[in-house]
Amino acid sequence: MGFRKLSWSFLCASLFATGVAAQEPQVVHGGDERYKVDILEVVAHPDDEAFFTPYLARAIYGLHKRVAVVFSTQGGSGANHYARERGPALTNVREIEAREACARLGISLVWFLDGKDTASQDVLDSLSNWGHGANLERLVGLVRLTRPEIILTHFPGIFVGEDHGDHQATGVLATEAFDLAADPTVFPAQLSGTTKHRELYLSNLEPWQTKKIYYGSDANDGKQFDGTGPAYSVNEISPALKKSYARFAIDAALPHLTQGETGRLSKMSDAEIEKLLSDPDSAWWSEPSTLIFGKSVVGGKATDDLFAHIDEKPEKRRENPGRCRERPVAEGKGPRLELGGPWRFYEEFYPVHGLCALPIAKAPEIGIKTGADLVVPLVLLHEPSKPLVVKVTAALPEGWKVTAGVGKWQLPAEGSTSLPVHIETPTLSTEELKKETAREVRISAEVEGKPIGEVSLKVVLRTVALPQ
Ligand SMILES: [Zn+2]
């Protein structure tokens, strides 16, 4: 009995001595709410934020949504249309122009990845030149920091148009980040909690599942995307801004003085800008403008409003990653010919990332500068245990000429062999180009006199185009 009494008195004394019973719990900080956004816009170059600015103006000033922007490059290549600085100096200038443009939209959360402005239409060139992995890790970290409900980014795919490899690569990175930010096994150091009192290396972020992703395309023919997502008026007058969303977006683009097209705006009168906006041939955005639906982990359909169903709990993402668009596989196990390069990459990319509803060109297509070398990237899939002799032939429009890639080839003993065909295209005048229609290039292959496949590419010759 005496022992029990002694214990109780001792316990009480201990509690009072340490003061634990009287103290409020100490606070462990959660995620920083200043960086939580509704929309994360991920675009390639300074001034590319304009792909979505009329909608962003609507979201910010009409719906009171929070927006952050990630640029994947500082956009240093190309000419300086305002002053003499070029190259690395121009990247520093363009970063500030982009920050000023975003500030005019009401966006202060702006980050830049380390992508290098890459003048090519090939997404794989851009991803390689940027360092795909390090930039993806950084973007996943930014998704986990900003916790967006919606990502807006470039269309990952190939259409006749600007077809910028940097735009496509940005769309690829953003799509990957959409999936990977939610996966606790991806870049786990970003998610690891602090292990030391003053932690130096671990980010202490949380996994984050963005709900929806939408794309904007740089294709010439924007009409082909009608109905593939929600469409919003750009000419509607914003009650808060007292001007149209398009006009507000144009005004926000004025700081891009070093850029060709946007730099031109600062020299235009009010009336000239209004005329530019009202002319469907020169307007920057179609009326209404469609945001191309990529995918969603909540309910609803592709054309629903961006924020429809946004408060629903995300479906478990990895339950059915699905191969939603089966690759066309040739009958049997014999050798076969396929289109390679970026086209082959996207055939793998779409189903793996569940982009089941994405609009794609009816047939593979590309626009190149008249007189430029056209490259048709081929891949020959064959039996890996023995070498193979294959004959490649090309059927071309009149005046087009093969410079390399056709004839008989002995392929090494490997599962797939890349074999590009190079074609010289005619140099046409501006007048001739106006009458020019899309041409078809067909490449065939045969083994021991038997055909093993044919690849077709629709090619549009243009006055200017990025190198393929
Ligand atoms: Zn761009």
Residue 194's pLDDT is: 84
| Encoded tokens for 342 | 């970026």
Residue 332's pLDDT is: 54
Q: What is the rounded distance in angstroms from the CA atom of residue 275 to the CA atom of residue 457?
A: 38
Q: Does pTM surpass 0.85?
A: yes
Helix, strand, or coil here: 20?
helix
Which has the closest alpha carbon to 451: 344, 330, 364? 330
Residue 316's pLDDT is: 60
Residue 319's pLDDT is: 40
Expressed in angstroms and rounded, the spacing between residue 304 Cα and the centre of ligand 1 is 27
Expressed in angstroms and rounded, the spacing between residue 168 Cα and the centre of ligand 1 is 10
Q: In sequence order, which ranges of 237-340 are alpha helices (DSSP H)?
A: 245-252, 260-265, 270-278
Expressed in angstroms and rounded, the spacing between residue 428 Cα and the centre of ligand 1 is 27
Expressed in angstroms and rounded, the spacing between residue 214 Cα and the centre of ligand 1 is 17
**Amino acid letter, residue 173:** L
Could you give the percent of the chain with pLDDT greater than 70? 91
Residue 278's pLDDT is: 87
**228-261 per-position pLDDT tens digit:** 999 999 999 999 999 999 999 999 999 999 998 8
Q: What is the rounded distance in angstroms from the CA atom of residue 194 to the CA atom of residue 345?
A: 39
DSSP per-residue codes, 356-415: TT----SS-EEEEETTSEEEE-EEEE--TTS-EEEEEEEE--TT-EEEES-EEEEEPSSS
Confidence of residue 21 (pLDDT cuts 50, 70, 90): low
Residue 9 in this model has a pLDDT that exceeds 60: no
Residue 233's pLDDT is: 97
Residue 279's pLDDT is: 86
Expressed in angstroms and rounded, the spacing between residue 164 Cα and the centre of ligand 1 is 7
Expressed in angstroms and rounded, the spacing between residue 154 Cα and the centre of ligand 1 is 9
Expressed in angstroms and rounded, the spacing between residue 466 Cα and the centre of ligand 1 is 12
Expressed in angstroms and rounded, the spacing between residue 133 Cα and the centre of ligand 1 is 21
Expressed in angstroms and rounded, the spacing between residue 152 Cα and the centre of ligand 1 is 14
Q: What is the rounded distance in angstroms from the CA atom of residue 302 to the CA atom of residue 230?
A: 7
**297-336 per-position pLDDT tens digit:** 999 999 999 999 999 998 765 444 444 555 555 555 789 9
What is the mean pLDDT of the segment spanning 172-193?
A: 96
Do the Cβ atoms of 266 and 254 come closer than 8 Å?
A: yes
Expressed in angstroms and rounded, the spacing between residue 165 Cα and the centre of ligand 1 is 9
Expressed in angstroms and rounded, the spacing between residue 281 Cα and the centre of ligand 1 is 20
Do the Cβ atoms of 199 and 379 come closer than 8 Å?
A: no
Expressed in angstroms and rounded, the spacing between residue 410 Cα and the centre of ligand 1 is 41
Residue 54's pLDDT is: 98
Query: In which element (H, E) is residue 150 found?
Result: strand 150-154
Expressed in angstroms and rounded, the spacing between residue 112 Cα and the centre of ligand 1 is 14
Expressed in angstroms and rounded, the spacing between residue 421 Cα and the centre of ligand 1 is 28
Residue 334's pLDDT is: 83
Q: What is the rounded distance in angstroms from the CA atom of residue 357 to the CA atom of residue 294?
A: 7
Residue 12's pLDDT is: 46
